[in-house]
Structure 1
Amino acid sequence: MIEFRQVTAYQQQTRVFDRLSLRIGPYERVAILGPNGAGKSTLLKLINRELYPVAQEGSYLKLFGSETIHLWQLREKIGFVSHDLQENYTPFTTALEVVVSGFFGAIGAHEHLQATDIQVERARETMRKVGIAQDDACLFQRLSTGQRRRLLLARALVHQPEALIFDEPANGLDLGASQTMLALLRSFCGEGRALIVTTHRLDEVIPDIDRVILINQGRVIADGLKADILTSKNLSELYQTKLNITEKNGWYRCWHD
């Protein structure tokens, strides 16, 4: 599904990745963990075509087997939700318009982008699925943080994509909204589709996730089965502080020693 081969990438003048190689297959459920500044956001921007790698011999980034996949095809195959999208979304767009905009890859409503009746009905159905259908006429700016996050999730899912990529799904949410969001992600995994979560928090690594990748300073420092990677030793090294990790019913927790 996603293949980085010796990829070098910059954010402005800063080199974030230097010859990064990484593969994620179809139907995988993966968590990518790392401290702030590790390269998680840059990784997502490369996948989402907001950023392009340096062109060099022997290097490529393939999405669904193609180096030149059309942006519209990519949007149909992968749904994206990020903190940047939530912060930058047009505030005076109604909730229904937010979800409908997912069909066009737009930010907000535009007169030249007219949804069909079928698209509007699918948008409403997706809103019902994430538990926010009752707010369809409410302006985006008047919704709570948790409601906005669920709305952007519905926007990402309106295409019924093969995969969902979610950047820090519970970031900034209160306890109730956080648990609701994680439950929605578990429901998505139950449909047999791929999930990639980027985070620096263990409580966002839901039990349905099988594989964990640790990155820091633009490098993959560990990659494998969740139980093998989420250890006290690995995470203490990743975050440069002594941590104790415990697991119960598939959920992982940590505390400072």
Structure 2
Amino acid sequence: EARQAADAAEQGETRREFLKELIGQGKPPQAGWTEHFASRFAGQPFKSVAIHFTDSQGRTFSRKGEFVATATGVEGSLIYAVSSLLRDEIAAHGSATFLLDLLPDKSPEQVLVEVRHPRGSRSLSSHLKSRLNLDGIKAAMLYELLDKEAIADPVQLAAGIKALPVRVLAARPIDEAISSAGGVMFEGMDAQLRVKMPEGAGQPVFCAGEMLDWEAPTGGYLLTACFASGRAAGQGVLSHFGL
């Protein structure tokens, strides 16, 4: 039991240091939007989009929803849901790239047909708005991340609309986090969320909520888990003291 407690503590410390190093740098110097994009679209949401991501270990994520562009990157429900995979990929390889589908309700073939439709004297922006209802931050994202050659080529543009590569380089600092990863590992606790300690180590320690090594995709799930684990730990305390 003493060895198990020591191993759990060592693993927890290693994970804590890894996460501290990962988020401690804040925004890398080579990251961020162009000044034009950040000044016009920071704080605006991407609605009805989808994110697809496969990491270097073959783990996949695919979900429709929404997120928000910030002055330094991206945040919001879709980003929170995929954040643990992105974080691990960044730690392993220095960056992670997810694919952003700007029109998840249309097939690639449908998008290509509309992009190729003759636009006459209309600008490309007007054409995309008219044929695909693609404007605002979604259209701006294409100009932000695709080069001029891709924008001018209907095939590459249509591919970008359906699978736009978005590269992320770091998590934001811990003081900006809604919730944090890491904590006391479940292997180091019993079924009542009591930390496994050697005999004579003192009063028992029970853990709950963000003390645990558990991640939630959104704040709502996090609160639910905090309440549930708090109740479980409380019952463990009552049971331990025979109350």
Fold-level match, TM-score > 0.5?
A: no
Q: Give me the TM-score of the superposition, normalised by structure 2.
A: 0.25
Q: Which has the larger share of strand?
A: 1
For the pair shown, the structure with the greater C-alpha radius of gyration is 2
Q: Which has the larger share of helix?
A: 2
Q: Give me the TM-score of the superposition, normalised by structure 1.
A: 0.24
